[in-house]
Structure formats: C-alpha cells, structure tokens
Structure 1
Amino acid sequence: MAYQPKQSDVLERFMRYVQVDSQSNPDNEAETPSTPAQHDMARLLGEELAALGCEDVRVDEHAYVTASLPASAGAEELPALGLCAHIDTSFDAPASGVRPHVVHYEGGDLVHGFVDGKPVVTTTAQVPDLAGFVGQDIVVSDGSTLLSADDKAGVAEICALVARLAAHPELPHPTLKVAFVPDEEIGHGARLLDLDRFGAKWCYTVDGEALGEFNYECFSAAEATVTVRGVMVHPGSAKDIMVNAITVASEFQQMVPAAERPEHTEGREGFYHPIDVRGTASEVELGYIIRDFDADSFARRQQVLRDIAAFLNARYGEGTVTVDIRQQYRNMAERFGDCPFLIDHALEANREVGLDPKVVAVRGGTDGAELSFRGLPCPNIATGGYSCHSVREFVPVRSLELTVDLLERLVAKFAVPQE
C-alpha cells in the first residue's frame, strides 16, 4: 500500500495542481498561451481564488489569472503587494499525466519510481542537500515525468497563503494582488500582465529552488541568430569559387570562446550557448543565447559575435555572415536602488521561520526580471523544489509548508508604511 501522509492544505493543493497538464510549447510561442492546456489550469485557479473570497478575480483570454485579497484591518490604505507564480511547466522533460506520490525518505538514494523496470533515483552526490531531508516526507513523480514543482509549488504556496489569510483576517497584510501567468518557461511569462490594472506597487515571484535561497539578481539575456550564406557550384568545378556554408558556420562556432560555454561556467560567470543549428551547404543558421550579470560584459559578448562575423566576411566576402541579436531580459538588480526594503524584508522573513537565507544570483531568467523592468520591482522567493526540468524533480513537504509560513511573515511586513 502506498505511503499516505496526513495532508496539509498546501500539500493537498500541490498534489492536485501537478496533475493538471499545463506544459508550454516553445514551437508555438507566437500564441499566448502556447498550449490550450494552460487554460484548464487558469480556470481552476480562478475558481479557487473566488471560493477563497478574493475580489476582482479575472481569467483572461491569454490564461492570465489575477485577483485581489482585501487588506487586514488598519492596512487598507497602504500600497498593494503582488505575489506571482507561473502556471506552465517545462518542455525539457515529459510533463503530461504527472502521478505524484509522497516518499518517507530514510536516507540513501531517493527512489522516485520505476520506468521499464529500472529505478529512477536521486543520489546525495547529485543533490547534496538530500542528506538533510532524512526522516522527512518528499513529493516525487513516478519517474516517467517531471513533478511540476516548477512552478506549481509556488502556485500552491500562494493559494495556501491566501486561504490562511482569508480564514484568519486578524493576520496583518496589505491588499494582496495575486497573478498566475502562462508561458514563463518559454520566456514569455508576465509580458502581457496589465500592471495598471494589477495595481501592485511592489511584488515577489514565488519560484526557484532550494528553501532559503533569495534572488534579486539574474542574468541579462539576449538571443543571437547567425546566418551563413554560401556560394554553391558543382563540386567538380568548385576550386576558388565555392563557399560552403557548413564550413563557415563551423569556423564561426570554433571562434566563439570555448571556455565561456555553460558547461565551463558557474556563479557569476556569463556564457555563450549554441542552442540550434540547421541548414545545408548553401545556407546555415546558428542559434545562440548570450548571458551575463555585468552590463559591460554583456555588451562585450554581443560585440564578440559581431566581430567574428566581420572577420569571416573579410575572408569570404561581405554578407557571408550576418548576426541578428534580440534582447530578451535584463538583470533585475538594476531596479532595486529605491526599494532596498524588498530585499531586507525577504531575508528577515526567512530568518523568522528558522532559515539561514542565502542570496543567489539566478543563472537564468524570472518573471521578476520582466516585471522589474516594466516598473514593478519584483525579487524572488524560493519554493523548496529541486532538480527542476527533470524527471528527478522533487520537493520536501516541510519545505512547501515552511514557504507558506515565510510568506505569511513577509506580507505582514507590508502592513505598515514603508520607509
């Protein structure tokens, strides 16, 4: 018989939410949401927020869910605080038909399930933090899909907080503005959130991984498309005439600094990451993503790609190589100079629930980056999950519960005027 722990509110919500398919699709990013299934998740959350007593609940045609929870007594005139999470799940692993279950972890390998008769496990070598969860309940999938803790853990934690505050109106909090957004995993996220209508002055995303981590800095990001156009003639008479696009594309890639690829970088080190190649001897298209924390270094990386193209054009002819760079998002740390209390309050809320907070620069993007640069300062609170985008994804039950406690402490800090 499967292990059946007593379910807290946040665990019950999480177990239900992960079973609703809502994977995003990078091949359909022109539409929002990129998959019809995200509408199902959005409708469910809209119904639940309304049942919890939220006001102005709206589920729009793009699967954005927004709602307001009235302030506690005495905080009605204070600025509203936003909480945001994304409803889509990653396309990097199977994400349909998630079957979550709870394992009481007693050490050693964490067994998620069996696929084709073979165990799917997480070891303490893969995730050293796992050793600290001995004796705890941990939610996993059956090993055939990801769990969807990224970011349905965040969704469940926000909804559990709203349920707690609605049931206990004496708990201090300003007006809370809740937003659940689609397609974060394909770089869209909060792009269509109407900030004037949303009405929050400040916001936190609830996303990320290990409990206690806090993020107010992320990569700046750009996407580069490199097009190589060859000159084709019959190979039997090609001498001094043919320019093979495959050969030139290979030269381009070899000139990109090899030590600055993702597999060789960590911490605050930026990178160039080739993500796609397609074409023929006549024309090849290379796709890169560029990431860096430092604005000057970020600009330098973009210039390096242009310089490589200029060098190859001098060798093979003008127009052989073109580089088109599209800006994606910026380091959100650039937007917190006027409101350092957003950082201070989050760190203190972590400490109040017994956590030793760790400020981590996100080696990726967040909805907070998009929102911060649109004028809504928005750092990130962790959810407690691990190994996101993987069939080995997991989240300890206690981490789900502690995050709700943390959010309760955090919103209380905004029930008084901010200095």
Structure 2
Amino acid sequence: MADTVTDRFLRYVVIDTQSDAKSATQPSTEKQKDLGRLLVEELLAIGLTDAHLDEYGYVYATIPSNSGKNNVPVICLCAHMDTAPDFSGTGVKPQVIRNYQGGDIRLPGHAERVIRESEHPALKDQIGNDIITSDGTTLLGADDKAGLAEIVTAAQFLMDNPDIKHGAIRILFTPDEEIARGVEKVDLQKLGADFGYTLDGETAGTIEDETFSADAVDIAITGVAIHPGFAYGKMENSIRIAGAIVDRLPKEMAPETTHGKDGFIHPTGISGSMEKASVSFIIRDFTEAGLSAKKTMLEEITRQVMTSYPGSSYTFKVTQQYRNMKLVLDQHPDVVENAMEAVRRAGMTPVRGSIRGGTDGSRLSYMGLPCPNIFAGGHAFHSPLEWVSSQDMQRAVNTVVELAKLWEERA
C-alpha cells in the first residue's frame, strides 16, 4: 500500500538535518545527506530510475513524461532538506493530534510551551483535522520536510496512475536553504527544466510570487586592548563598540516591529574580546532602493560610532543573498497563473501572497528558472511551536497533481 504523505513526513522529521552557516563545506553539514540517501531510496522504489544524490548533497530525479505531446514544458518541483539553525532539530519527537477539536495544544516535552489558538488563528480552520507538532523541545521540521513528503507522495501518485497525462517533471531536493546557500551548486543544465515550483510556503491555498531581497552584513572591529587597571584614556573595548552599533539601530526597523511590506535590519550574531569583535546582520526589503538605504544607514551608524574611538578600525562586508523573484515572475505570468488554477482544481480558493523571507525559488528565478512558491501547510516555522496538518499536506499533494495535468493540457 502506498505511503500517505503523513507517513513520509513522520519518517523524515526524525532525521536531524540542521544546516550550519559557519561551515564552509557544501553541504554545510554531512547529516543532511542522511535524509538525501533515504529520499533517493524512496524515489527509486516508486520507479524514478534516475534518482541520485550528488557530492554537494542535492537529490535529482525525474518523473518521465507520459504525454503524447512533445511541447509540454518541463517543470521542476523543489523542496529543501535542511532545518533552520535557529532552534534545535536534534531528537525530534513528533506527536499527532487526531481529529483536532479546537483549543490550545500543550506540548508534552516542555510544560511552558503551548500552541495557543489565540496566537495561531489558522488553527480555527483545522477543526476535525490531524495536527502534527513536536514535543516542544525541538522544532518540528515542517519547514521544509512537509514539502519533501508532498513531492514524493505526488510523484508516487503520478507513477501509479498512468492515465493522468503529464510532461516530464524534474525533482530537486536541496541542502542549506536555511542559510541562503541552497542552490549554489545546482546544475541547471542537468536539471533541464523550463520552470520551477518550490513547495515551501505556509497556509493552504497560498501561492507566493514575491519575496524579500536580502543581503548579509558582517562588521569586524579592531579595538585598543590594554590591562584594565591601566586603561584610563587608552582602552577602546571592541565589545563596547559592537554594542554601541547595535544599540543605535532604529527600534522601528527591527523584525519584531515590522510587518507587511516593511523591511528590517536584524543583528543575528555578536562575538569578540576586548581587542576584536564581530557583528553579523541580515538586511531585508522588498525593493532594491529600500535594501540599499538600509545598508547605507547601517554603515553610517557604524561610522558615527567609530568616531568616538579614534584608535580603532573596522571593516564592513556586504554579501548578496537573494533578490525579489517578482521581477522575474512578472515576465512569466502563466507560471503563477497555472499554480493558482491548480489550487482551484484542488478545491481551494487561491491566495496570492508575498513572503517575508526567501526560498530557493528566489535564487533559481535569477539563475534562469522562474520559480514561485506553493504552500506546504506548515506554521510557526523555526520555532518549537511549529505545526502542520495532515489534511493540508494532502491538499498540497493534490495541487501538485493538478499542476502537472494543467501544463500538459495547455501545451
């Protein structure tokens, strides 16, 4: 009997796949390949004979075309294997709450962690559904193991039902998406797709064609070190300098005070000693002008702080991470419209949304593979309160099947 999407999901989430931004390897953690090998086994078992894991941790596979037409575009279905470094993904213990009837969900591994209905209004749409959470001591991993399970389940359904006509569909599972390196080593020529779809979104029915544009900033500070007993008028403590830079950031430009189309400047790490310190930031905005203005502001704050420390110096390094995919997708409206129609055919009302974040699709779009984002059903990503429903994952499977049919019909 074919595995359900829930069966697969529960199998995947217990495998630790956290990525590590401090690592210089690709993938950043070898343990991501543990899940990659399992996925290859499952894809081979359902008949995808070219499924393989490459040296960089990517899983490639093909659902072969069964259409008599030779002009059906090749689409790619993409999801990422890693989980976020923001919270532990080691030792995940999922729980399934059958036939959820409303109210708060207490997490058994941590008495103080509760998924409150008042804070998670999407729970009100889940009455009668099966809710999956962690035990509260780890994140769940629905971001993005829900997407993995949905793609594999849809692939099995298409392979088991040859009467459903579709073109060739490439499958791509990536490592390191959470640290913005998910597609750095992707071989697009080998992939051979015309368009792509990530399954990495949230609420059922949502199609996202817009993301933040994103940069990282690393500031390295060199202060003046001296014995604290003889420091008067001489010491310039690099830790204090780093703290002063963070303290001057506008409070109204933090993630916790912004929403909608607002961008932000967010310190993500600080470390150092008296002599040397470093501060890491991520900067996000939906427009290039907004992103540039925030970088300029951060550098000006740094420069102003440094004027009070004439014996110290700093470097200011900007690294481009990804760009708003809407600029690319607007040139290919049928890619998004077909996804919206697939949602309708799967029995939902489509909602077109913007992501206050990014996906592999952001980078893929600018690499030549236009790639909007389809919902995967998860909520409260990167936290121990993360949850997903079995029924929403199945809705994503149905959407993928309808999408495959649509591209073949409209060819």
Does the pair score TM above 0.5? yes
Q: What is the deviation of 1:239?
A: 5.2
8 A contact 1:219–1:291 mirrored in 2: yes
Identity of aligned residues (%): 38
Question: Paired residue for 1:370?
Answer: 363
1:240 to partner: Cα distance: 4.8
> Partner residue of 2:291?
298
RMSD between superposed Cα atoms in Å: 2.2
- What SS does the corresponding residue of 1:43 show, helix, strand or coil? helix
Offset, 1:110: 2.0
Match of 2:52 among 58, 61, 66: 58
Q: Which amino acid aligns with 1:9?
A: T
2:136 matched to which residue of 1?
143
Question: Which deviates more, 309-318 or 341-350?
Answer: 309-318
Match of 1:328 in 2: 321
State the 1:124 CA deviation.
0.7
Alpha-carbon distance change, 318 to 270 in structure 1, aligned in 2, over 3 angstroms: farther
Give 1:92 deviation, angstroms.
2.5
Match of residue 70, structure 1, among 64, 67, 91: 64
Structure 2 residue corresponding to 1:16, chosen from 11, 14, 20: 11
Question: Which one-letter code corresponds to 1:83 in the other structure?
Answer: L
Distance 2:225 2:112 in 1: 52
Deviation at 1:334, TM superposition (A): 1.7
Alignment of 1:18-417 (within 5 A): 18-28=13-23, 30-104=24-98, 105-112=100-107, 114-115=108-109, 118=111, 120-233=113-226, 238=231, 240-317=233-310, 320-416=313-409
| Structure-1 separation of matches of 2:216 and 2:112 | 38
Change (3 A) 1:172 1:7: closer
Q: Deviations over 1:40-62 (max 9, x none)?
A: 21111112112222242221122
C-alpha offsets along residues 123-153 of structure 1, whole Å, 9 cap, x if unaligned?
A: 1112011122122212223333322211111
- Secondary structure of the corresponding residue to residue 190 of structure 1: coil
Structure 1 contact 55–70 (Cα < 8 Å) conserved: no
Aligned partners of 1:19 and 1:97 also within 8 Å: yes
Deviation at 1:347?
A: 1.4
Offset, 1:8: 6.2
Are the counterparts in 2 of residues 70 and 76 from structure 1 also a CA contact under 8 Å?
A: no
Structure 2 CA distance, aligned partners of 1:263 and 1:17? Answer: 31
Q: For structure 1, which runs of at least 5 residues remain unmatched after alignment?
A: 1-5
How far the C-alpha of 1:187 sits from its partner, in A, is: 1.8
Tell me, yes or no, if the aligned pair for 1:272 and 1:288 is still in contact at 8 Å. Answer: yes
**More off after superposition, 407-416 vs 188-197:** 407-416
**Equivalents in 2 of 1:197, 1:115: separation in Å?**
44
Distance 2:14 2:317 in 1: 40
Query: Which 5+ residue runs of structure 2 have no aligned equivalent?
Result: none
Distance 1:386 1:316 in 2: 45
**Deviation sequence 1:189-219 (CA, Å, 0-9, x none):** 1221100010001000001221122211111
- Return the offset for 1:394: 1.6
Q: Conserved in 1, the CA contact under 8 Å of 2:133 and 2:387?
A: yes
The one-letter code matched in structure 1 to 2:314 is V
User: Normalising to structure 1: TM-score of the pair?
Assistant: 0.91
Partner SS state of residue 243, structure 1: coil
Q: Distance in 2 between matches of 1:329 and 1:213?
A: 21
- Name the stretch that deviates more: 10-19 or 65-74: 10-19
Determine the C-alpha separation between the residues in 1 that align with 2:250 and 2:298.
10
Question: Is the Cα–Cα contact under 8 Å of residues 99 and 141 in structure 1 kept in the other structure?
Answer: yes
Q: Deviations over 1:375-394 (max 9, x none)?
A: 11111001111122222222
In 1, the alpha carbon distance for the partners of 2:2 and 2:405 equals 26
For the 8 Å contact 1:312–1:320, the answer to whether it is kept is no
> How big is the shift at 1:236?
5.9
TM-score normalized by the length of structure 2: 0.93
